[in-house]
Amino acid sequence: MTHEDYMRMAMEEADLAVKEGNAPFGVVVVSKDGRIVAKDHDRVNALMDPTAHGEVNAIRKLCQELGTLSLKDMTFYTTSEPCPTCLSSCIKAKVKAINYGAEMELTASLPIKARDLAGQSTHPIKIVGGILASECMKQRERYRR
Ligand SMILES: [Zn+2]
């Protein structure tokens, strides 16, 4: 499985999010050995919860399932650059890395670049952007006319 394979799955999750009435954001979580351990998506509208972003949902589900507060060996693939809420949540969960597709929207409610914010964290988290960036961007824009 390549970065692009995981990102395509995250894009399928983003499609699912929209089908369920939410914003087009998807996430896939991969363990150290390359296994997919979680897939989730934005559920803000479905749950009537402004914090129910894909990353946050995946963290809640995984930590409960595994009975842990630490996802230290996990890598997150997200269709869009994580917002500060999601990045903070990943840092709290000690996530190893976040690989994202499209850059954050300029209209985001708190448009702080993930890498800038991560640079201030005492927990090292690797942020890599640009995986299937144009596909992820096109998908996001298709749903946000
Ligand atoms: Zn978020």
Is the domain defined by 3-143 classed in CATH 3.40.140.10? yes
> Cα(1) to centroid of ligand 1, in Å?
25
What is the chain's length?
A: 145
Q: What is the pLDDT of residues 118-130, one digit of tens each?
A: 999 999 999 999 9
55 in catalytic set: yes
For the chain (145 residues), the mean pLDDT of every run of 10, in chain order, is 97 98 97 98 98 98 98 98 97 98 91 96 96 98 84
Domain ranges of the chain: 3-143
12, 13, 20, 55: which is the annotated catalytic residue? 55
End-to-end CA distance of the chain: 33
> Cα(51) to centroid of ligand 1, in Å?
7
Q: What is the CA 126 to chain-centroid distance, rounded?
A: 13
Identify the pLDDT of residue 145.
61
